[in-house]
């Protein structure tokens, strides 16, 4: 037996292969997604597509999913790859893997940070909207790295204010196409919804102020590894700003990256990782910092870039 599901492709999956998008959207294995595709159980905007075809945000997926097993099973498992870097009575700091959303949202049925923490028995703050309680900032589904979640109500209030006041140090590493000139600098350009795509953002006159600082770590033949410091925290900010200066993140086909480079470096998402997060601890104001190593797919791609592939 199967159940028919009709869902839009959320923005976080824009540009992914269809099999990968199905895996992340419905929380199934890649092999299970391929099996459904091979059985003709998927259409995109009414048309049959291959497993390697890229999906676009907003497209309609019609999927025949196997009916859920009603036999009682084990309790939910921790989201694969979601690591706890630090926990105390006020905050929990995690290393978020790619393919995991911060919290539930319309059209997303894949794993979430909140769901993973809950399944593992971690308590989080009850402040905030019901579906995002404890969430004080987010990383895109396709971006990995360090995140902090509030556990106490006091921590939620303090951290939300810190993000608003821009006192949190958010550091990312981004592998971008080409070689930015100057090699270090600031991009100060307003960002708002894309004028023609509801699921993208763009530099738009009159948009929200957005400031990105970057420094070159190392330049390679085809790309440059940057250290990026966000002064503001707009959705897709790094991706939008780097695309605006014609140096999109490698693998970020949504924002104009060369798909041939994505294939060459074996990337199925943008090369962007939240490497460090620093903030004043809500309990005593002491400055704390947490770091996340590169995810395996990013390290593999970087090695290929460094080898001059």
Contacts of 17 (CB under 8 A, 6+ apart): 51, 52, 53, 54, 55, 268
**Given 140, 227, 284, 303, the catalytic residue:** 140
Tokens of 51: 């497993």
How far apart (Å, rounded) are the C-alpha atoms in residues 31 and 154?
44
Distance, CA of 12 to CA of 141 (rounded, Å): 5
Cα distance between residue 87 and residue 2, in whole Å: 41
The C-alpha atoms of residue 172 and residue 191 are separated, in whole angstroms, by 19
Cβ–Cβ < 8 Å for 151, 134 = yes
Q: Smallest Cα–Cα separation from 203: which of 186, 189, 216?
A: 189
| HSE-up (13 A, CA, CB side) for residue 205 | 0
Sign of the C-alpha dihedral computed for residues 124, 128, 129 and 130 taken in this order: positive
Q: Quote the DSSP letter at residue 101.
A: B
What is the distance between the alpha carbons of residues 117 and 97, in angstroms, rounded to a whole number? 13
28 CB-near residues (< 8 Å, 6+ apart): 22, 65
Q: How far apart are alpha carbons 113 and 146 in whole angstroms? A: 11
Q: How far is residue 34's CA from residue 11's CA, in Å, rounded to a whole number?
A: 22
Catalytic residue flag (residue 140):
yes
Q: What kind and span of H or E run contains 57?
A: none
User: What whole-number distance in Å separates Cα of residue 27 and Cα of residue 82?
Assistant: 14
Distances from the Cα of 263 to the Cαs of 14, 221, 254, in angstroms? 16, 16, 15
Catalytic (active-site) positions: 140
């Amino acid at each position: 037996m199967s159940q028919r599901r009709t869902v839009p492709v959320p923005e976080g999956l824009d540009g992914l292969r269809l099999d990968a998008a199905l895996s992340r959207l419905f929380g199934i294995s890649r092999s299970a997604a391929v099996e459904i595709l091979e059985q003709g159980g998927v259409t995109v905007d009414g048309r049959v597509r291959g497993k390697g075809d890229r999906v676009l945000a907003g497209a309609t997926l019609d999927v025949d999913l196997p009916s859920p097993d009603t036999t009682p099973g084990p309790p939910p498992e921790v989201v694969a790859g979601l690591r706890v870097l630090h926990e105390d009575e006020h905050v929990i700091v995690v290393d978020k893997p790619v393919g995991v959303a911060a919290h539930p949202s319309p059209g997303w049925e894949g794993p979430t940070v909140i769901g993973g923490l809950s399944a593992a028995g971690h308590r989080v703050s009850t402040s905030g909207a019901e579906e995002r309680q404890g969430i004080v900032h987010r990383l895109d589904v396709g971006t990995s790295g360090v995140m902090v979640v509030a556990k106490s109500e006091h921590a939620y209030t303090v951290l939300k204010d810190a993000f608003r006041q821009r006192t949190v140090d958010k550091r990312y590493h981004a592998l971008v196409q080409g070689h930015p000139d100057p090699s270090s600098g600031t991009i100060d350009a307003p960002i708002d919804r894309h004028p023609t795509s509801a699921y993208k953002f763009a530099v738009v006159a009159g948009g929200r102020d957005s400031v990105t600082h970057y420094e070159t770590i190392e330049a390679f033949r085809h790309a440059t590894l940057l250290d990026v410091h966000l002064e503001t925290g707009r959705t897709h900010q790094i991706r939008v700003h780097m695309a605006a200066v014609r140096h999109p993140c490698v693998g970020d086909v949504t924002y104009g990256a060369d798909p041939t480079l994505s294939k060459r470096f074996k990337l199925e998402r943008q090369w962007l990782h939240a490497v460090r997060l620093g903030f004043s601890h809500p309990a005593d104001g002491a400055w704390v910092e947490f770091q996340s190593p590169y995810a395996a797919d990013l390290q593999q791609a970087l090695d290929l870039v460094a080898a001059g592939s």
